[in-house]
Amino acid sequence: MSTTDDLRRIFKACVVNPVAIDRANSYDPGYLVVKGDKIEQLSRDDPRQAMPSAKFIDFGKKTIVPGFVDTHVHFPQFGIMGVGAGELLTWLKTYTYPEETRFADPEYAAMVGRRFFDALVVNGTTTAAIYSSVHEKATDIAFSLARTKGIRAFIGKVMMDRNSPPALLEGTDESIAASLRLFERWDGADNGRLRYVFTPRFAGSCSMELMMQVGKIAQDRNAFVQSHLSENSGEVGWIRQLFPNLPSYTAVYDSAGMLNEQSIMAHCIHLSADEIAGLSSRGVSVAFCPYSNRMLHSGTMPYRRLRSAGLNISLGSDVAGSPSLAMLDQMREAMTAAEISWSEALYLATLGGAKALGLSDRIGNFEAGKDADFVVVDDDVVREVYVRGVRVL
Ligand SMILES: [Zn+2]
């Protein structure tokens, strides 16, 4: 005879549950009860007597944390991770654009994509906001691979209609049309676990006309938008030349209608007080990428100022700006760059990311009813990964 206990598993470990930016609850030991694909409860008391036929898994001294959320990563740069040096604009021209050009070939895109999605899971990332290349087919491939892996993914083809190498340059209408086709095919697919995210690469590679169309389309369709903002001081100076009539880099995106609660802006390093206030009033989320910022000598994001302004902050690996997909590495970098505790860095890598993606009611911590996405960590190494209760590593 089967009972509901057959669907239940009790995982015992040191469980860390982020509940707010300044608070994570530790259970040592804790008992995480998973029923089917959802979290049923987390307690300090041993629930085995009340659930006699539940399967019991003891992780001893290992730690369980929620599945990681990477809110800024470039899948076509996975093959050049750890390659290259220099600052942003030179790095893009020398290493990144030539590599992304290769994604016109679907076989190459599939080969790198398989390794990329495998590596996400190996590193405990169960949800990610991903930049594809400009190519529609490569973006389809990325969605298919995310679906196969079962992870939640927000993916967008990058849009580039000016100041880009000829092999990557798109016409404005062509870029919009391809993005809309991808949105229609993928947004909400796999029971809502896949979302399309409009991805104008950055103001340097996009015309105002393109960005204004993106702003309107995304608002009309309640869609997500992701881009880069104020990463490097050379870049900021160039954007000011490109848009001389606008007061700031942030104002470029704002006048295009791209800034709202469904916008994720990566980096946000060299911002004025007015820009920070503007981002905050629009409810924009900031993807903090400290490892990438260090590697590309971009500067240090003013974490305290952004946090005090009430901005939602999450973490991004920004591969290949950083040489690691591991969110544990990004957490370590965040602790140094922002002078925060491990538990605050964990919040940024989990619940902060869930909030950025509008998913804090489904993932990000161990509240009852959320997806059973979690990672077993030992000695700062990911040992096992579960996605909706299914062990995937
Ligand atoms: Zn990036």
The beta-strand segments (E) located in the chain are: 8-20, 23-35, 38-43, 55-66, 68-74, 125-131, 152-156, 158-159, 194-200, 224-229, 263-267, 285-288, 312-315, 374-378, 381-387, 390-391
Measured in Å, residue 128 CA sits from the centre of ligand 1 at: 13
**Does the pTM exceed 0.75?**
yes
* DSSP code string of 29-88: EEEEEEETTEEEEEESS--TTTSTTSEEEEEEEEEEEEPEEEEEEEGGGGGGTT---S-H
Measured in Å, residue 368 CA sits from the centre of ligand 1 at: 34
Measured in Å, residue 318 CA sits from the centre of ligand 1 at: 5
Measured in Å, residue 348 CA sits from the centre of ligand 1 at: 17
d(CA 57, CA 72): 33
Question: What's CA 124's distance to the chain center, in Å?
Answer: 13
pLDDT in 10s for each residue of the chain, 393 residues? 445 566 899 999 999 999 999 999 999 999 999 999 999 999 999 999 999 999 999 999 999 999 999 999 999 999 998 777 788 889 899 999 999 999 999 999 999 999 999 999 999 999 999 999 999 999 999 999 999 999 999 999 999 999 999 999 999 999 999 999 999 999 999 999 999 999 999 999 999 999 999 999 999 999 999 999 999 999 999 999 999 999 999 999 999 999 999 999 999 999 999 999 999 999 999 999 999 999 999 999 999 999 999 999 999 999 999 999 999 999 999 999 999 999 999 999 999 999 999 999 999 999 999 999 999 999 999 999 999 999 999
Measured in Å, residue 267 CA sits from the centre of ligand 1 at: 8
* Residue 85 exposed, middle or buried by CB count within 10 Å (0-12, 13-18, 19+): exposed
Measured in Å, residue 73 CA sits from the centre of ligand 1 at: 6
pLDDT digits (tens, 9 = 90+) for 87-132: 888 989 999 999 999 999 999 999 999 999 999 999 999 999 999 9
Q: What is the pLDDT of residue 221?
A: 97
Beta pairing class for 23-35 and 8-20 = antiparallel
pLDDT digits (tens, 9 = 90+) for 299-318: 999 999 999 999 999 999 99
Q: Tell me what the pLDDT averaged over the chain comes to.
A: 96
CA atoms within 13 A on the CB side of 215: 17
Measured in Å, residue 140 CA sits from the centre of ligand 1 at: 20
Measured in Å, residue 266 CA sits from the centre of ligand 1 at: 7
